[in-house]
Structure 1
Amino acid sequence: MKKLVLVAVAVLLIGGGAYAGSPYLAASNLKAAAVSGDADQIEANVDFPAVRDSLKSQMSAAMMQKLNSDPEMKDNPFAGLGMMMVPAIVDKVVDAYVTPDGLSALIQGSKPTDAKGSAGSTNPNIEYDYEWVNSVRFRVNLTNTQTQQAGLALVFERRGVVTWKLVKVDLDDSFFENDN
């Protein structure tokens, strides 16, 4: 009877450890795939349609806010036309840049710089902080340790018991600033 109890406790501990540790492993695997440029591994860990949708809504909102807050656009008769074109422009840009290479660049702390989504220079000063959002969501916050500036966040969602996929990239405000 004692052996049965010990086996049951061991199974519960191993299962609980796998359940609790699986998002950390998924985030670590995605980071390693980004660093090594393993497109197949990135594709296996990312729900691309969900990531594209999240980025499209964030970028559309940011562009609309910039257009609305620009004093030159207030009296511009073409401002309304520009606002109508924002969703189409954002759709094309996001579709072009949300690729394994583009996500690899973002995960490594740089911006995609060309239409293939390839990275500019990789930022070696990125720190990854992990946190549970709830029982089915896990968040990885990227921070630049050199400037102490918060960066983007990667949101993973549970798919099954121990499987996680990247479903959202939360962009920070500095992403929309010009590097000039």
Structure 2
Amino acid sequence: MKALKFLLPLLLVSLLAYALLSPYLALHQFKTALDNKDTVVLDSRINYPPLRDSLKSQMRNALASKLASRSNGRSEAFASLGMGLAMMVIEPMVDSMVSPQGLAGMMRDNPHAASRSPDKAGSDAPSKTDPFAGATTHYRSWDQLDVVVPRPEGNISLVFKRDTLRWKLTDILLPASALPL
């Protein structure tokens, strides 16, 4: 009985610690997988359907606002045609971007990330850029963590959501200037 009184609080504290620290462990694994170009680990940390839907929606909205600002009272039919044609290009583009290789490339292409050397200063190893340089994290809710990565064109927000006991990337919020349109 005495052991139960000791083990129960210990178990509860351990579960609470895991619940609070698990997104940071997942983020660390995500960063390490990016650094090591480990597409298997990246693949296990990404929830593709909502991520693709979100990026397509962002591109669709940016394109619609761009077309609306350029139409200046021109025919609505031509704007609709242009939007339809553009969506035929955007769909496969997003599908190719949202892959472990595509996301790794997108995150590594941060030219303003702080450079870090993996070894001592005299080493011949090439330096890597940290795609999460200057990133901040905060909880939106108990099952959602935002990672905000500063970029010159605007902040990029990576949204991780709890998927049972694991955390997965479910959304990337891009600034309008970073959208490839």
TM-score, length-normalised on structure 2?
0.78
Match of 2:16 in 1: 16
Match of 2:89 in 1: 89
SS of 1:127's equivalent in the other structure is coil
Match of 2:69 in 1: 69
- Comparing 169-178 and 52-61, the one that deviates more: 169-178
Distance in 1 between residues matched to 2:131 and 2:161, nearest whole Å: 27
Check conservation: 1:141, 1:150, Cα contact below 8 A.
no
Match of 1:157 in 2: 161
Match of 1:57 in 2: 57
Residue 68 of structure 1: how far off its partner (Å):
0.9
The one-letter code matched in structure 2 to 1:87 is M
Match of 1:174 in 2: 177
For structure 2, the 5+ residue unaligned runs are 112-127
TM-score, length-normalised on structure 1?
0.79
In structure 2, relative to structure 1, the CA distance for the partners of 1:103 and 1:26 (3 Å cut) is same
In structure 2, relative to structure 1, the CA distance for the partners of 1:122 and 1:74 (3 Å cut) is farther
Match of 2:37 in 1: 37
SS of 2:135's equivalent in the other structure is strand
Distance in 2 between residues matched to 1:42 and 1:177, nearest whole Å: 23
The yes-or-no answer on 1:7 pairing with 2:7 is yes
Match of 1:136 in 2: 143
Deviations 1:85-122 (A, max 9, x none): 232221111012111121113334539xxxxxxxxx95
Q: Percentage identity across aligned positions?
A: 29
The one-letter code matched in structure 2 to 1:141 is V
Distance in 2 between residues matched to 1:13 and 1:122, nearest whole Å: 37
Distance in 2 between residues matched to 1:129 and 1:103, nearest whole Å: 19
SS of 2:150's equivalent in the other structure is strand
In structure 2, relative to structure 1, the CA distance for the partners of 1:42 and 1:132 (3 Å cut) is same
Check conservation: 1:64, 1:86, Cα contact below 8 A.
no
Distance in 1 between residues matched to 2:91 and 2:81, nearest whole Å: 16
How many residue pairs were aligned?
A: 164
Check conservation: 1:108, 1:126, Cα contact below 8 A.
no
Moved over 6 A (4+): none
Deviations 1:9-38 (A, max 9, x none): 211111111111111111111111112111
